[in-house]
Structure 1
Amino acid sequence: MKEIKVLGSGCKNCETTARIITAQAERMGVAIRLEKVTDMAVILGYGVMSTPGVVVDGRVVHAGGLPGPDDVTAWLS
């Protein structure tokens, strides 16, 4: 199971990022545990200055803007 955190204030792009990841995981048949992190101190602790940020299995893989489908596929593979 992949542990995924979407880092952000809960803005539209953050919510869309969570939906994109969830939908792609379902298409690929990959089990994920998705957590939305809104605490700015925690977000800054990951070194993310631009949201949404994405953390997969403890590693920051994305920051700022919406991720592309190919990016999400790579994270889940």
Structure 2
Amino acid sequence: MANIIKIKGKPIGIFGLELALNKVRTLMKEEGLDAKEGARKLLEIIQRKNYIPSSVRSDYLEALELLLKEESDVKGQQEQGPLTVRILGPGCIGCNRIEELVLQIMSEKAIAADIYHVTDRDEIHRYGVEKTPALMIGDKLVSSGKIPSKAEIELWLTQS
């Protein structure tokens, strides 16, 4: 997902939108929030890192609510989207080892997934990761600061 939303038809970049969406999705599930309440929470989170003029606050709320509604409609139509695996790290030996293990397990178990190796430090930080190498499966950070064993990765991949 890109960190861009449309406000009155114009694309606006939002720093940390994907991470904020992950937090709000979790809140919506746990607390049973609707899209309108979720949009308010989402706006609270993104305002910490982005300047949002008070004159267009309602436009942002509307766009964020629409984003959450579209997302839930798409999830309702699809049984399950493709699995996403992100290896987060600067391209060190540990990161490369995790990538090799993930690819090996996916090949052995015939698991289909989109794999991304995120090396940009700013983007890694947007995911809330402080220690690398890190591994995200779906929207969940499963490992950070160490190289997980093959058995651990296999378990995480098969459970997702």
TM norm. shorter chain > 0.5: yes
- Runs (4+) off by over 2 Å: none
- Aligned partner of 1:68 in structure 2 is 149
Gaps of 5+ in 2: 1-81
Gaps of 5+ in 1: none
- Aligned partner of 2:101 in structure 1 is 20
More strand by share: 1
Counterpart selection for 1:29 from 110, 116, 140: 110
- Aligned partner of 2:86 in structure 1 is 5
AA aligned to 1:62 is S
**Residue-by-residue CA offset, 1:35-72 (whole Å, 9 max, x unaligned):** 10011111112221111111111211110121111211
SS in 2 for 1:26: helix
SS in 2 for 1:49: coil
- Percent same amino acid among aligned pairs? 26
Question: How far apart are residue 16 of structure 1 and its match?
Answer: 0.8
Counterpart selection for 1:49 from 130, 135, 147: 130
The count of aligned residue pairs is 77
Tell which deviates more after alignment, 2-11 or 44-53: 44-53
SS in 2 for 1:22: helix
More helix by share: 2
Question: How far apart are residue 5 of structure 1 and its match?
Answer: 0.5
Structure-1-length-normalised TM-score: 0.91
| Higher RCO (C-alpha 8 Å, min separation 6) | 1
Structure-2-length-normalised TM-score: 0.46
AA aligned to 2:128 is G
The alignment yields a C-alpha RMSD, in angstroms, of 1.0
